[in-house]
Chains A and B, each alone.
Chain A
Amino acid sequence: MNAERPTDAARPALLRANRWKPWEFALWLAAFAAPLADPSHAALISEIAIVALFAMSLDLVLGYAGIVSLGHAAFFGFGGYCAALFAKHVMPDPLVGLAVGMAAATVLGALCSVTILRGSDLTRLMVTLGVSLIMLELANKLDWLTGGADGLQGITIGPLLGRFEFDLGGRTAVYYSLVVLLVFAILARRLVHSPFGATLMAIRDNRLRAMAIGVPVASRLVAVYTIAAAMAGAAGALLVQTTSFASLDLFEFQRSADVLLILVVGGVGWLYGGVIGAVVFKLMQDTLSAITAQYWTFWLGLFLVLLVLVGRDRLIRPWTWLRRRGRV
Protein backbone atom coordinates (compact mmCIF):
# COMPACT_ATOMS: atom_id res chain seq x y z
CA MET A 1 0.00 0.00 0.00
CA ASN A 2 2.44 2.58 1.16
CA ALA A 3 5.61 0.87 0.03
CA GLU A 4 6.70 4.11 -1.59
CA ARG A 5 7.41 6.11 1.49
CA PRO A 6 9.33 9.31 1.19
CA THR A 7 12.82 8.96 2.56
CA ASP A 8 12.19 11.39 5.38
CA ALA A 9 9.46 9.32 6.98
CA ALA A 10 11.26 8.64 10.24
CA ARG A 11 11.20 12.09 11.79
CA PRO A 12 7.48 12.82 11.44
CA ALA A 13 6.65 9.31 12.61
CA LEU A 14 8.85 9.67 15.66
CA LEU A 15 7.57 13.11 16.55
CA ARG A 16 3.95 12.05 16.09
CA ALA A 17 4.29 9.67 19.04
CA ASN A 18 5.28 12.59 21.21
CA ARG A 19 2.35 14.81 20.31
CA TRP A 20 -0.43 15.48 22.84
CA LYS A 21 -3.56 13.55 21.97
CA PRO A 22 -7.05 15.10 22.18
CA TRP A 23 -8.10 12.63 24.88
CA GLU A 24 -5.22 13.81 27.04
CA PHE A 25 -6.53 17.36 27.02
CA ALA A 26 -10.01 16.01 27.76
CA LEU A 27 -8.70 13.98 30.67
CA TRP A 28 -6.95 16.93 32.28
CA LEU A 29 -9.90 19.22 31.67
CA ALA A 30 -12.16 16.70 33.36
CA ALA A 31 -9.73 16.37 36.26
CA PHE A 32 -9.59 20.10 36.86
CA ALA A 33 -13.34 20.52 36.40
CA ALA A 34 -14.23 17.69 38.78
CA PRO A 35 -13.76 19.63 42.06
CA LEU A 36 -15.96 22.41 40.68
CA ALA A 37 -18.66 19.99 39.59
CA ASP A 38 -18.65 18.13 42.88
CA PRO A 39 -17.08 20.21 45.67
CA SER A 40 -18.21 17.73 48.32
CA HIS A 41 -15.75 15.17 46.97
CA ALA A 42 -12.76 17.49 46.83
CA ALA A 43 -10.86 15.44 49.40
CA LEU A 44 -11.41 12.24 47.44
CA ILE A 45 -10.28 13.86 44.18
CA SER A 46 -7.20 15.20 45.92
CA GLU A 47 -6.40 11.74 47.21
CA ILE A 48 -6.89 10.26 43.74
CA ALA A 49 -4.47 12.82 42.29
CA ILE A 50 -1.87 11.95 44.93
CA VAL A 51 -2.25 8.21 44.41
CA ALA A 52 -2.09 8.79 40.65
CA LEU A 53 1.20 10.61 41.07
CA PHE A 54 2.51 7.79 43.23
CA ALA A 55 1.42 5.19 40.67
CA MET A 56 2.91 7.20 37.82
CA SER A 57 6.25 7.17 39.59
CA LEU A 58 6.05 3.39 39.95
CA ASP A 59 5.20 3.15 36.26
CA LEU A 60 8.51 4.80 35.36
CA VAL A 61 10.30 2.06 37.25
CA LEU A 62 8.07 -0.90 36.48
CA GLY A 63 6.41 -0.06 33.19
CA TYR A 64 9.33 1.60 31.47
CA ALA A 65 12.47 0.15 33.05
CA GLY A 66 10.96 -3.23 33.95
CA ILE A 67 12.03 -3.13 37.58
CA VAL A 68 9.46 -4.74 39.89
CA SER A 69 8.98 -3.28 43.35
CA LEU A 70 6.94 -4.20 46.37
CA GLY A 71 8.34 -1.41 48.46
CA HIS A 72 7.67 1.80 46.63
CA ALA A 73 6.02 3.20 49.78
CA ALA A 74 9.50 3.62 51.25
CA PHE A 75 9.96 6.75 49.16
CA PHE A 76 6.37 7.89 49.55
CA GLY A 77 6.62 7.64 53.32
CA PHE A 78 10.07 9.16 53.56
CA GLY A 79 9.04 12.15 51.47
CA GLY A 80 5.90 12.48 53.58
CA TYR A 81 7.63 12.32 56.94
CA CYS A 82 10.38 14.70 55.89
CA ALA A 83 7.82 17.22 54.62
CA ALA A 84 5.86 16.82 57.87
CA LEU A 85 8.92 17.31 60.09
CA PHE A 86 10.02 20.27 58.03
CA ALA A 87 6.60 21.90 58.40
CA LYS A 88 6.56 21.23 62.10
CA HIS A 89 10.10 22.28 63.02
CA VAL A 90 11.39 24.57 60.30
CA MET A 91 8.78 26.40 58.29
CA PRO A 92 5.19 25.77 57.22
CA ASP A 93 5.43 26.83 53.57
CA PRO A 94 3.97 23.96 51.49
CA LEU A 95 6.07 24.40 48.35
CA VAL A 96 9.34 24.49 50.26
CA GLY A 97 8.11 21.50 52.24
CA LEU A 98 7.30 19.69 48.99
CA ALA A 99 10.81 20.39 47.73
CA VAL A 100 12.31 19.11 50.98
CA GLY A 101 10.23 15.92 50.89
CA MET A 102 11.26 15.34 47.28
CA ALA A 103 14.91 16.02 47.96
CA ALA A 104 14.92 13.58 50.86
CA ALA A 105 13.25 10.87 48.78
CA THR A 106 15.69 11.56 45.94
CA VAL A 107 18.64 10.84 48.23
CA LEU A 108 17.01 7.69 49.56
CA GLY A 109 16.18 6.59 46.00
CA ALA A 110 19.75 7.11 44.84
CA LEU A 111 21.06 5.07 47.78
CA CYS A 112 18.55 2.28 47.24
CA SER A 113 19.05 2.16 43.49
CA VAL A 114 22.17 0.05 43.92
CA THR A 115 20.01 -2.70 45.42
CA ILE A 116 17.93 -3.19 42.28
CA LEU A 117 20.71 -3.34 39.70
CA ARG A 118 21.39 -7.06 39.90
CA GLY A 119 19.44 -10.20 40.45
CA SER A 120 16.09 -11.51 39.31
CA ASP A 121 12.59 -10.12 39.74
CA LEU A 122 12.21 -12.16 42.89
CA THR A 123 15.32 -10.68 44.50
CA ARG A 124 14.08 -7.20 43.57
CA LEU A 125 10.67 -7.84 45.08
CA MET A 126 12.34 -8.95 48.31
CA VAL A 127 14.92 -6.19 48.42
CA THR A 128 12.38 -3.42 47.79
CA LEU A 129 10.00 -4.95 50.31
CA GLY A 130 12.85 -5.17 52.80
CA VAL A 131 13.78 -1.52 52.39
CA SER A 132 10.19 -0.39 52.98
CA LEU A 133 9.93 -2.59 56.09
CA ILE A 134 13.15 -1.08 57.43
CA MET A 135 11.77 2.41 56.85
CA LEU A 136 8.50 1.47 58.55
CA GLU A 137 10.24 0.16 61.65
CA LEU A 138 12.59 3.13 61.79
CA ALA A 139 9.61 5.47 61.78
CA ASN A 140 8.01 3.32 64.44
CA LYS A 141 11.08 3.13 66.64
CA LEU A 142 12.21 6.78 66.41
CA ASP A 143 9.06 7.91 68.16
CA TRP A 144 10.72 10.98 69.72
CA LEU A 145 11.00 12.28 66.17
CA THR A 146 8.13 10.72 64.28
CA GLY A 147 5.53 10.20 66.96
CA GLY A 148 5.82 6.44 66.43
CA ALA A 149 2.56 4.55 66.23
CA ASP A 150 0.55 7.63 67.21
CA GLY A 151 1.65 9.46 64.10
CA LEU A 152 3.07 12.92 63.79
CA GLN A 153 0.52 15.43 64.96
CA GLY A 154 0.35 19.17 65.20
CA ILE A 155 1.46 19.84 61.67
CA THR A 156 0.25 23.17 60.39
CA ILE A 157 0.74 23.97 56.77
CA GLY A 158 0.99 27.60 55.73
CA PRO A 159 -1.02 29.12 52.91
CA LEU A 160 -0.03 28.11 49.41
CA LEU A 161 2.04 30.85 47.73
CA GLY A 162 1.30 32.87 50.85
CA ARG A 163 -2.28 33.39 49.70
CA PHE A 164 -4.39 30.26 49.56
CA GLU A 165 -5.18 28.79 52.98
CA PHE A 166 -5.79 25.04 53.17
CA ASP A 167 -9.50 25.31 53.91
CA LEU A 168 -11.81 22.71 55.37
CA GLY A 169 -13.60 22.31 52.06
CA GLY A 170 -10.33 21.05 50.59
CA ARG A 171 -10.44 23.33 47.59
CA THR A 172 -6.85 24.55 47.91
CA ALA A 173 -5.71 21.01 48.64
CA VAL A 174 -7.34 19.49 45.58
CA TYR A 175 -5.98 22.08 43.17
CA TYR A 176 -2.58 21.90 44.78
CA SER A 177 -2.56 18.11 44.26
CA LEU A 178 -3.88 18.36 40.72
CA VAL A 179 -1.36 21.00 39.66
CA VAL A 180 1.55 19.04 41.12
CA LEU A 181 0.27 15.90 39.38
CA LEU A 182 -0.01 17.78 36.08
CA VAL A 183 3.49 19.21 36.38
CA PHE A 184 4.99 15.79 37.06
CA ALA A 185 2.89 14.21 34.32
CA ILE A 186 4.28 16.71 31.82
CA LEU A 187 7.84 16.04 32.99
CA ALA A 188 7.34 12.28 32.98
CA ARG A 189 5.77 12.46 29.54
CA ARG A 190 8.79 14.31 28.24
CA LEU A 191 11.05 11.77 29.82
CA VAL A 192 9.40 8.65 28.42
CA HIS A 193 9.28 10.03 24.88
CA SER A 194 12.93 11.06 24.94
CA PRO A 195 16.00 9.06 23.93
CA PHE A 196 16.50 8.46 27.65
CA GLY A 197 13.03 6.94 27.92
CA ALA A 198 13.61 4.83 24.82
CA THR A 199 16.81 3.40 26.27
CA LEU A 200 14.84 2.49 29.42
CA MET A 201 12.37 0.53 27.33
CA ALA A 202 15.28 -1.11 25.56
CA ILE A 203 16.63 -2.23 28.92
CA ARG A 204 13.20 -3.54 29.89
CA ASP A 205 12.78 -5.48 26.66
CA ASN A 206 16.30 -6.90 26.37
CA ARG A 207 19.02 -5.94 28.78
CA LEU A 208 21.70 -7.92 26.92
CA ARG A 209 21.03 -6.11 23.67
CA ALA A 210 20.73 -2.75 25.39
CA MET A 211 24.28 -3.26 26.63
CA ALA A 212 25.36 -4.38 23.17
CA ILE A 213 24.24 -1.08 21.62
CA GLY A 214 26.14 0.95 24.17
CA VAL A 215 23.44 1.77 26.72
CA PRO A 216 24.98 2.18 30.18
CA VAL A 217 22.38 -0.02 31.82
CA ALA A 218 23.37 0.48 35.46
CA SER A 219 23.51 4.25 35.32
CA ARG A 220 20.17 4.41 33.47
CA LEU A 221 18.51 2.30 36.16
CA VAL A 222 20.05 4.39 38.93
CA ALA A 223 18.76 7.52 37.22
CA VAL A 224 15.20 6.33 36.69
CA TYR A 225 14.93 4.79 40.13
CA THR A 226 16.08 8.05 41.69
CA ILE A 227 13.67 10.12 39.59
CA ALA A 228 10.80 7.81 40.48
CA ALA A 229 11.73 8.02 44.16
CA ALA A 230 11.61 11.82 43.92
CA MET A 231 8.11 11.64 42.42
CA ALA A 232 6.95 9.19 45.07
CA GLY A 233 8.40 11.48 47.72
CA ALA A 234 6.47 14.40 46.25
CA ALA A 235 3.28 12.33 46.40
CA GLY A 236 3.95 11.48 50.06
CA ALA A 237 4.64 15.12 50.88
CA LEU A 238 1.40 16.12 49.16
CA LEU A 239 -0.63 13.65 51.19
CA VAL A 240 0.88 14.85 54.45
CA GLN A 241 0.40 18.49 53.58
CA THR A 242 -3.18 18.12 52.38
CA THR A 243 -4.21 16.06 55.43
CA SER A 244 -1.91 17.76 58.00
CA PHE A 245 -1.03 14.36 59.37
CA ALA A 246 1.74 11.79 58.99
CA SER A 247 1.41 8.27 60.31
CA LEU A 248 3.08 4.91 59.89
CA ASP A 249 0.65 3.85 57.20
CA LEU A 250 2.64 6.04 54.80
CA PHE A 251 5.21 3.24 54.87
CA GLU A 252 2.82 0.28 55.15
CA PHE A 253 3.20 -2.72 52.88
CA GLN A 254 -0.45 -2.25 51.98
CA ARG A 255 0.43 1.02 50.29
CA SER A 256 3.14 -0.54 48.14
CA ALA A 257 0.81 -3.38 47.22
CA ASP A 258 -2.09 -1.04 46.43
CA VAL A 259 -0.03 1.11 44.11
CA LEU A 260 1.16 -1.96 42.24
CA LEU A 261 -2.42 -3.09 41.96
CA ILE A 262 -3.52 0.33 40.74
CA LEU A 263 -0.90 0.18 38.03
CA VAL A 264 -2.02 -3.27 36.96
CA VAL A 265 -5.62 -2.05 36.81
CA GLY A 266 -4.70 0.97 34.71
CA GLY A 267 -2.02 -0.73 32.64
CA VAL A 268 1.76 -0.50 32.92
CA GLY A 269 4.05 1.33 30.56
CA TRP A 270 1.92 4.21 29.31
CA LEU A 271 2.03 6.74 32.19
CA TYR A 272 -1.72 7.27 32.27
CA GLY A 273 -2.14 3.77 33.65
CA GLY A 274 -1.42 5.20 37.08
CA VAL A 275 -4.02 7.92 36.63
CA ILE A 276 -6.74 5.64 35.25
CA GLY A 277 -5.93 2.97 37.81
CA ALA A 278 -6.08 5.46 40.67
CA VAL A 279 -9.47 6.74 39.52
CA VAL A 280 -10.92 3.25 39.13
CA PHE A 281 -9.40 1.97 42.37
CA LYS A 282 -10.38 4.90 44.53
CA LEU A 283 -13.91 5.15 43.09
CA MET A 284 -14.39 1.42 43.62
CA GLN A 285 -13.11 1.74 47.14
CA ASP A 286 -15.36 4.71 47.79
CA THR A 287 -18.57 3.25 46.37
CA LEU A 288 -18.04 -0.35 47.45
CA SER A 289 -17.04 0.50 50.98
CA ALA A 290 -20.14 2.66 51.25
CA ILE A 291 -22.20 -0.41 50.42
CA THR A 292 -20.20 -3.01 52.29
CA ALA A 293 -17.60 -1.36 54.48
CA GLN A 294 -15.90 -4.51 55.70
CA TYR A 295 -15.91 -6.64 52.61
CA TRP A 296 -15.15 -4.26 49.78
CA THR A 297 -11.83 -5.92 49.10
CA PHE A 298 -13.78 -9.06 48.11
CA TRP A 299 -15.18 -7.19 45.12
CA LEU A 300 -11.82 -5.67 44.42
CA GLY A 301 -10.31 -9.15 44.40
CA LEU A 302 -12.99 -10.43 42.06
CA PHE A 303 -12.42 -7.51 39.74
CA LEU A 304 -8.67 -8.16 39.70
CA VAL A 305 -9.08 -11.84 38.92
CA LEU A 306 -11.42 -11.01 36.06
CA LEU A 307 -9.15 -8.26 34.79
CA VAL A 308 -6.12 -10.48 34.63
CA LEU A 309 -7.88 -13.59 33.32
CA VAL A 310 -10.06 -11.88 30.73
CA GLY A 311 -7.54 -9.20 29.85
CA ARG A 312 -7.96 -5.46 30.05
CA ASP A 313 -8.60 -4.96 26.35
CA ARG A 314 -11.40 -7.49 26.29
CA LEU A 315 -12.89 -6.31 29.57
CA ILE A 316 -13.40 -2.78 28.32
CA ARG A 317 -14.70 -4.04 24.98
CA PRO A 318 -17.61 -6.32 25.96
CA TRP A 319 -18.74 -6.53 22.34
CA THR A 320 -15.69 -8.66 21.56
CA TRP A 321 -16.63 -11.32 24.14
CA LEU A 322 -18.69 -13.38 21.74
CA ARG A 323 -16.07 -13.34 19.02
CA ARG A 324 -13.28 -15.92 18.81
CA ARG A 325 -13.27 -17.39 22.27
CA GLY A 326 -10.84 -20.23 21.81
CA ARG A 327 -7.42 -18.62 21.99
CA VAL A 328 -5.93 -20.02 25.16
Chain B
Amino acid sequence: MSAPPVASTATVLSALGLVKRFGGIPATDNVTLNLARGARHALIGPNGAGKTTLINLLTGVLDPTEGRIELEGQDITRLAPHQRVRRGLVRTFQINQLFDSLSPLQTLALTVSQQQGLGGKWWQPLGARRSVAERCDQLLEQFRLATVMEQPTRTLSYGKRRLLEIAIALACEPRVLLLDEPVAGVPAGEREELLRTIATLPAEVSVLLIEHDMDIVFSFATRMTVLVNGAVLTEGTPQEISSDERVRAVYLGEEERAPSHA
Protein backbone atom coordinates (compact mmCIF):
# COMPACT_ATOMS: atom_id res chain seq x y z
CA MET B 1 0.00 0.00 0.00
CA SER B 2 1.27 3.44 -0.84
CA ALA B 3 -0.01 5.86 1.75
CA PRO B 4 -0.12 9.50 0.64
CA PRO B 5 2.71 11.45 2.26
CA VAL B 6 0.49 13.51 4.52
CA ALA B 7 2.10 12.68 7.84
CA SER B 8 5.57 11.29 8.29
CA THR B 9 5.76 7.49 8.19
CA ALA B 10 6.85 7.43 11.79
CA THR B 11 3.44 8.79 12.79
CA VAL B 12 0.64 6.26 13.15
CA LEU B 13 -2.16 8.35 14.52
CA SER B 14 -2.53 12.10 14.34
CA ALA B 15 -5.11 14.49 15.60
CA LEU B 16 -4.86 17.70 13.63
CA GLY B 17 -6.46 20.79 15.12
CA LEU B 18 -9.28 18.89 16.80
CA VAL B 19 -12.06 20.99 18.27
CA LYS B 20 -15.15 19.72 20.05
CA ARG B 21 -17.67 22.15 21.44
CA PHE B 22 -20.63 21.20 23.55
CA GLY B 23 -23.06 24.08 23.19
CA GLY B 24 -20.31 26.59 22.55
CA ILE B 25 -18.08 25.38 25.37
CA PRO B 26 -14.91 23.80 23.98
CA ALA B 27 -14.20 20.43 25.61
CA THR B 28 -11.40 19.90 23.14
CA ASP B 29 -9.66 23.05 22.03
CA ASN B 30 -7.51 22.84 18.91
CA VAL B 31 -5.64 19.69 19.92
CA THR B 32 -2.85 18.47 17.69
CA LEU B 33 -1.27 15.21 18.77
CA ASN B 34 1.00 12.81 16.90
CA LEU B 35 1.44 9.25 18.02
CA ALA B 36 4.63 7.67 16.73
CA ARG B 37 4.79 4.05 15.60
CA GLY B 38 5.44 1.85 18.59
CA ALA B 39 4.95 4.78 20.93
CA ARG B 40 4.47 4.52 24.66
CA HIS B 41 2.79 7.84 24.97
CA ALA B 42 0.94 9.13 28.01
CA LEU B 43 -1.83 11.69 28.05
CA ILE B 44 -2.10 13.41 31.38
CA GLY B 45 -4.02 16.34 32.75
CA PRO B 46 -6.20 17.28 35.70
CA ASN B 47 -9.79 16.09 35.99
CA GLY B 48 -11.97 17.68 33.39
CA ALA B 49 -9.05 18.41 31.07
CA GLY B 50 -10.86 16.62 28.24
CA LYS B 51 -8.82 13.43 28.06
CA THR B 52 -11.76 11.10 27.65
CA THR B 53 -13.43 13.48 25.21
CA LEU B 54 -10.28 13.33 23.11
CA ILE B 55 -10.37 9.51 23.16
CA ASN B 56 -14.03 9.60 22.17
CA LEU B 57 -13.15 11.85 19.24
CA LEU B 58 -10.27 9.64 18.13
CA THR B 59 -12.39 6.49 18.25
CA GLY B 60 -15.42 8.03 16.60
CA VAL B 61 -17.85 7.95 19.52
CA LEU B 62 -18.04 11.73 19.11
CA ASP B 63 -17.72 13.75 15.91
CA PRO B 64 -15.30 16.67 16.07
CA THR B 65 -16.64 20.18 15.46
CA GLU B 66 -13.45 20.97 13.57
CA GLY B 67 -10.20 19.26 12.69
CA ARG B 68 -9.00 16.01 11.23
CA ILE B 69 -7.89 12.58 12.40
CA GLU B 70 -5.45 10.49 10.41
CA LEU B 71 -4.58 6.84 10.90
CA GLU B 72 -1.59 5.56 8.93
CA GLY B 73 -1.79 8.69 6.81
CA GLN B 74 -5.44 8.18 5.89
CA ASP B 75 -8.23 10.51 6.90
CA ILE B 76 -10.55 8.63 9.27
CA THR B 77 -12.41 11.67 10.63
CA ARG B 78 -15.74 10.55 9.18
CA LEU B 79 -15.41 6.82 9.72
CA ALA B 80 -17.82 5.04 12.06
CA PRO B 81 -16.32 3.58 15.26
CA HIS B 82 -16.41 -0.01 14.03
CA GLN B 83 -14.60 0.95 10.82
CA ARG B 84 -11.78 2.48 12.85
CA VAL B 85 -11.52 -0.70 14.89
CA ARG B 86 -11.19 -2.67 11.68
CA ARG B 87 -8.21 -0.48 10.81
CA GLY B 88 -6.57 -1.28 14.11
CA LEU B 89 -7.59 1.66 16.30
CA VAL B 90 -8.85 0.11 19.53
CA ARG B 91 -9.64 1.49 22.94
CA THR B 92 -10.44 0.43 26.47
CA PHE B 93 -12.88 2.25 28.70
CA GLN B 94 -12.32 4.01 31.98
CA ILE B 95 -15.58 2.51 33.22
CA ASN B 96 -15.89 -1.16 32.27
CA GLN B 97 -18.01 -1.67 29.19
CA LEU B 98 -18.70 -5.40 29.13
CA PHE B 99 -21.32 -7.81 27.88
CA ASP B 100 -22.82 -8.66 31.24
CA SER B 101 -24.94 -11.65 30.32
CA LEU B 102 -22.22 -13.33 28.28
CA SER B 103 -19.30 -15.27 29.73
CA PRO B 104 -15.69 -14.13 29.27
CA LEU B 105 -15.28 -17.01 26.84
CA GLN B 106 -18.25 -15.95 24.73
CA THR B 107 -17.14 -12.33 24.89
CA LEU B 108 -13.64 -13.10 23.68
CA ALA B 109 -14.84 -15.62 21.11
CA LEU B 110 -17.19 -13.13 19.52
CA THR B 111 -14.56 -10.40 19.59
CA VAL B 112 -11.95 -12.64 17.99
CA SER B 113 -14.51 -13.86 15.43
CA GLN B 114 -15.35 -10.28 14.55
CA GLN B 115 -11.66 -9.44 14.30
CA GLN B 116 -11.07 -12.38 11.98
CA GLY B 117 -13.91 -11.26 9.75
CA LEU B 118 -16.33 -13.98 10.85
CA GLY B 119 -18.75 -11.73 12.72
CA GLY B 120 -21.39 -11.99 10.02
CA LYS B 121 -21.21 -15.77 9.71
CA TRP B 122 -24.44 -17.30 10.93
CA TRP B 123 -24.11 -20.89 9.81
CA GLN B 124 -21.10 -22.05 11.84
CA PRO B 125 -21.21 -22.21 15.62
CA LEU B 126 -19.20 -19.68 17.58
CA GLY B 127 -15.73 -21.16 18.06
CA ALA B 128 -15.96 -23.63 15.20
CA ARG B 129 -12.95 -21.97 13.61
CA ARG B 130 -9.88 -23.34 15.36
CA SER B 131 -7.95 -20.08 15.14
CA VAL B 132 -10.73 -18.35 17.12
CA ALA B 133 -10.72 -20.91 19.92
CA GLU B 134 -6.92 -20.92 20.10
CA ARG B 135 -6.73 -17.15 20.43
CA CYS B 136 -9.41 -17.31 23.15
CA ASP B 137 -7.35 -19.86 25.07
CA GLN B 138 -4.28 -17.63 24.84
CA LEU B 139 -6.14 -14.57 26.04
CA LEU B 140 -7.94 -16.41 28.85
CA GLU B 141 -4.64 -17.71 30.10
CA GLN B 142 -2.79 -14.43 29.67
CA PHE B 143 -5.44 -12.54 31.62
CA ARG B 144 -6.05 -15.31 34.16
CA LEU B 145 -9.67 -15.67 33.19
CA ALA B 146 -9.55 -19.38 32.34
CA THR B 147 -11.02 -20.47 35.67
CA VAL B 148 -14.06 -18.22 35.30
CA MET B 149 -14.41 -18.40 31.55
CA GLU B 150 -17.91 -19.85 31.59
CA GLN B 151 -19.42 -17.69 34.30
CA PRO B 152 -21.65 -14.79 33.35
CA THR B 153 -19.54 -11.63 33.27
CA ARG B 154 -21.89 -9.85 35.66
CA THR B 155 -20.97 -12.30 38.43
CA LEU B 156 -17.21 -11.73 38.19
CA SER B 157 -15.14 -9.79 40.70
CA TYR B 158 -14.17 -6.25 39.78
CA GLY B 159 -10.58 -7.25 39.19
CA LYS B 160 -11.57 -9.99 36.77
CA ARG B 161 -13.97 -7.67 35.00
CA ARG B 162 -11.18 -5.14 34.61
CA LEU B 163 -8.89 -7.80 33.17
CA LEU B 164 -11.61 -8.77 30.72
CA GLU B 165 -12.03 -5.13 29.73
CA ILE B 166 -8.38 -5.04 28.66
CA ALA B 167 -8.45 -8.55 27.17
CA ILE B 168 -11.32 -7.55 24.86
CA ALA B 169 -9.23 -4.70 23.47
CA LEU B 170 -6.28 -7.00 22.84
CA ALA B 171 -8.57 -9.53 21.19
CA CYS B 172 -9.16 -6.86 18.55
CA GLU B 173 -5.45 -7.11 17.62
CA PRO B 174 -4.86 -3.37 17.87
CA ARG B 175 -2.18 -1.50 16.01
CA VAL B 176 -3.00 1.59 18.01
CA LEU B 177 -4.28 1.04 21.53
CA LEU B 178 -5.90 3.80 23.57
CA LEU B 179 -5.94 2.87 27.24
CA ASP B 180 -8.28 4.97 29.36
CA GLU B 181 -7.05 4.55 32.95
CA PRO B 182 -6.57 0.80 32.60
CA VAL B 183 -5.74 0.06 36.22
CA ALA B 184 -8.35 2.34 37.79
CA GLY B 185 -9.85 0.52 40.74
CA VAL B 186 -7.79 -2.62 40.26
CA PRO B 187 -6.61 -4.10 43.55
CA ALA B 188 -2.88 -3.77 44.20
CA GLY B 189 -2.14 -7.46 43.68
CA GLU B 190 -3.64 -7.57 40.21
CA ARG B 191 -2.40 -4.13 39.23
CA GLU B 192 1.21 -5.22 38.61
CA GLU B 193 -0.02 -8.14 36.58
CA LEU B 194 -2.08 -5.88 34.37
CA LEU B 195 0.73 -3.35 33.99
CA ARG B 196 3.15 -6.10 33.05
CA THR B 197 0.74 -7.28 30.38
CA ILE B 198 0.51 -3.78 28.98
CA ALA B 199 4.26 -3.33 29.15
CA THR B 200 4.85 -6.55 27.21
CA LEU B 201 2.63 -5.55 24.31
CA PRO B 202 4.39 -6.08 20.99
CA ALA B 203 6.72 -3.22 20.11
CA GLU B 204 4.86 -2.41 16.91
CA VAL B 205 1.67 -1.65 18.82
CA SER B 206 1.44 2.06 19.53
CA VAL B 207 -0.08 2.90 22.90
CA LEU B 208 -1.67 6.07 24.18
CA LEU B 209 -2.21 5.82 27.91
CA ILE B 210 -4.46 8.03 29.97
CA GLU B 211 -3.49 7.71 33.60
CA HIS B 212 -3.69 9.63 36.84
CA ASP B 213 -1.09 7.70 38.76
CA MET B 214 2.20 9.47 38.05
CA ASP B 215 4.31 6.48 39.07
CA ILE B 216 2.65 4.42 36.38
CA VAL B 217 2.96 7.18 33.81
CA PHE B 218 6.65 7.75 34.43
CA SER B 219 7.49 4.06 34.46
CA PHE B 220 5.60 3.44 31.23
CA ALA B 221 5.78 6.43 28.95
CA THR B 222 8.62 7.61 26.77
CA ARG B 223 6.64 10.60 25.67
CA MET B 224 3.92 12.65 27.32
CA THR B 225 1.28 15.17 26.40
CA VAL B 226 -0.28 17.42 29.01
CA LEU B 227 -3.87 18.46 28.44
CA VAL B 228 -5.36 21.38 30.35
CA ASN B 229 -8.84 22.79 29.78
CA GLY B 230 -9.15 20.87 26.56
CA ALA B 231 -5.95 22.23 25.04
CA VAL B 232 -2.44 20.86 24.81
CA LEU B 233 -0.29 22.63 27.37
CA THR B 234 2.93 20.96 26.36
CA GLU B 235 4.44 17.76 25.05
CA GLY B 236 7.80 16.14 25.66
CA THR B 237 9.79 13.39 27.29
CA PRO B 238 8.98 12.50 30.90
CA GLN B 239 12.10 14.42 31.98
CA GLU B 240 11.01 17.52 30.13
CA ILE B 241 7.49 17.29 31.48
CA SER B 242 8.54 16.74 35.06
CA SER B 243 10.80 19.76 34.95
CA ASP B 244 8.28 21.99 33.19
CA GLU B 245 7.20 24.72 35.57
CA ARG B 246 3.79 25.20 33.97
CA VAL B 247 3.03 21.52 34.29
CA ARG B 248 4.05 21.58 37.90
CA ALA B 249 1.84 24.54 38.48
CA VAL B 250 -1.33 23.17 36.93
CA TYR B 251 -0.96 19.49 37.43
CA LEU B 252 1.92 18.05 39.34
CA GLY B 253 1.43 20.80 41.87
CA GLU B 254 -1.64 18.91 43.02
CA GLU B 255 0.52 15.92 43.85
CA GLU B 256 2.96 15.66 46.67
CA ARG B 257 5.91 15.20 44.32
CA ALA B 258 6.31 18.89 43.49
CA PRO B 259 7.24 20.79 46.62
CA SER B 260 9.14 23.54 44.76
CA HIS B 261 6.24 25.57 43.53
CA ALA B 262 7.48 28.45 41.42
Q: In the assembled complex, how far is the CB of residue A227 from the closest CB belonging to chain B, in whole angstroms?
A: 9
Q: In the assembled complex, how far is the CB of residue B174 from the closest CB belonging to chain A, in whole angstroms?
A: 11
**Are A215 and B137 in touch, CB under 8 angstroms?**
no
**Are B119 and A3 in touch, CB under 8 angstroms?**
no
Q: In the assembled complex, how far is the CB of residue A201 from the closest CB belonging to chain B, in whole angstroms?
A: 6
Indicate whether A209 reaches chain B with its CB closer than 8 angstroms: yes
A223 to B124, CA, bound (A): 17
> Chain A residues near B12 (CB, 8 Å)?
none
**Are B123 and A190 in touch, CB under 8 angstroms?**
yes
**Are B91 and A195 in touch, CB under 8 angstroms?**
no
Total interface residues on A, CB under 8 Å, equals 40
Partner of B110, one of A2, A191, A198: A198
> Chain B residues near A323 (CB, 8 Å)?
none
**Are A10 and B109 in touch, CB under 8 angstroms?**
yes
> Chain A residues near B126 (CB, 8 Å)?
14, 17-18, 193-195, 197-198
Indicate whether B86 reaches chain A with its CB closer than 8 angstroms: yes
Q: Answer whether A216 and B82 are a contact pair too, CB < 8 Å, given A14-B105, A15-B128.
A: yes
**Are B168 and A213 in touch, CB under 8 angstroms?**
yes
**Are A214 and B115 in touch, CB under 8 angstroms?**
yes
Q: In the assembled complex, how far is the CB of residue B156 from the closest CB belonging to chain A, in whole angstroms?
A: 14
Indicate whether B193 reaches chain A with its CB closer than 8 angstroms: no
> Chain B residues near A13 (CB, 8 Å)?
105, 127, 149-150
Partner of B59, one of A190, A212, A269: A212
**Are B122 and A190 in touch, CB under 8 angstroms?**
yes
> Chain B residues near A10 (CB, 8 Å)?
105, 109, 127, 133-134, 136-137, 140, 149
A220 to B149, CA, bound (A): 26
> Chain B residues near A209 (CB, 8 Å)?
93, 97-99, 168
**Are A213 and B172 in touch, CB under 8 angstroms?**
yes
* A-B pairs, 4 with minimum CB distance: A14-B127, A11-B133, A214-B85, A198-B110
The residues of A with any CB-CB pair to B shorter than 8 Å are 2-3, 5, 7-11, 13-15, 17-18, 190-191, 193-199, 201-202, 204-206, 208-217, 220, 223, 269
User: What are 25 pairs between A and B in contact, CB < 8 Å?
Assistant: A3-B147, A7-B141, A10-B149, A11-B127, A11-B130, A15-B128, A193-B125, A195-B113, A196-B121, A197-B126, A199-B113, A199-B114, A201-B106, A202-B99, A204-B101, A205-B100, A206-B99, A208-B97, A211-B61, A211-B82, A213-B85, A213-B90, A213-B168, A214-B82, A216-B80
Given contacts A213-B110, A216-B82, 16 further A-B contacts (CB under 8 A): A2-B147, A9-B146, A10-B105, A10-B133, A13-B149, A17-B125, A194-B124, A198-B102, A198-B110, A201-B99, A205-B98, A213-B85, A213-B171, A214-B85, A214-B86, A215-B114
